[in-house]
Amino acid sequence: MSISPRSSRRVRTACGLAVIMFGAALFVPTAPARAGDVLVFAAASTTDALDAIISAYGKTGGTAKASYGSSSTLARQIVNGAPADIFVSADQKWMDYIAERKKVAVGSRRDLLRNTLVLIAPFTKKAALKIAPGFGLAAALGNGRLAVGDPEHVPAGIYAKQALTHLGVWNQIASKTARTQDVRAALALVERGETPFGIVYSTDAKASTKVRVVDTFPRDSHAPIVYPAALIAGRDTPEAKRFFAFMTSSDAVRIFGQFGFVVD
């Protein structure tokens, strides 16, 4: 089952083109670019934190815009010519994907953030589940479904499948998953009570007042959740470099921390 609910902040861009098709992904600009604007393509899970950082950056006199979505979709758009200046991925795989295609500016790639994976439920739902090998997730779901990013390409879903496989319960619940196009879409399903449980990053759960954390997945149950960032080759302008540096400044570190990210 694949569910892709709309999200009010999923796609934001700074390009003045009307509609551009990049491979299989549709890139729909919503705001005109201005000279000096920096366009960041970033994983959906960074939405709130990066919005705050862009706002703080504006107070320094710089301007930046962001387009949020699944790292896989954004990476493919970059490879197909989307006008991104910076890419922030939710895993190494999709940064590797653009690097292998010579889209990463030499020497710019760095690990920016870390995150954790959590099991969530609607805030009003009373459920007690302790994550452990063989835990009763399938029984708790009943006839409901587990909201997850599509484990075929969405980093949050890939981590979720790794964790549930490690814990020996993936085969029991694989047919009960509601697979979404990014992690914020999975969060939205749980927020609306359309699914009884979901798996998202801890930062996503922290950003919502409509869900609660049931438990946190052990770090050794999945690959480390690392967000690499890089400048895009051929678009590493002085303005892009300035914002890229700001993302690692003490002000940005403080903001990322407020939203629950661990900063390397």
Exposed/middle/buried for residue 34 (C-beta within 10 Å: 0-12, 13-18, 19+)? exposed
With bands split at pLDDT 50, 70 and 90, how would you rate the model's confidence at 91?
A: very high
Task: Give me the mean pLDDT over the 4-19 stretch.
Answer: 34
Same fold, 20-114+226-263 and 117-221: yes
Give the model confidence (pLDDT) of 158-191 as tens digits. 999 999 999 999 999 999 999 999 999 999 999 9
Residue 29 has pLDDT above 70, yes or no: no
pLDDT digits (tens, 9 = 90+) for 224-243: 999 999 999 999 999 999 99
- For the chain, the structural domain boundaries read 20-114+226-263, 117-221
Q: Tell me which of 3.40.50.920, 3.30.70.20, 3.40.50.2020, 3.40.190.10 is the CATH number of domain 117-221.
A: 3.40.190.10
Assess whether pLDDT exceeds 70 at residue 22.
no
Q: Is 16's pLDDT higher than 90?
A: no
pLDDT at residue 17, as a whole number: 28
Single-letter amino acid code for the residue at 4: S
End-to-end CA separation in angstroms for the chain: 36
Residue 201 has pLDDT above 50, yes or no: yes
Q: Is the pLDDT of residue 248 over 50?
A: yes
128-162: pLDDT as tens digits: 899 999 999 999 999 999 999 999 999 999 999 99
Nearest to 48 by CA among 63, 68, 28: 68
Q: What is the homologous superfamily of the domain 20-114+226-263 according to CATH?
A: Periplasmic binding protein-like II (3.40.190.10)
3-state secondary structure 27-66: ECCCCCCCCCCEEEEEEHHHHHHHHHHHHHHHCCCCCEEE
Q: Residue 241: which of 229, 253, 251, 250 has the closest Cα?
A: 229
pTM: 0.83
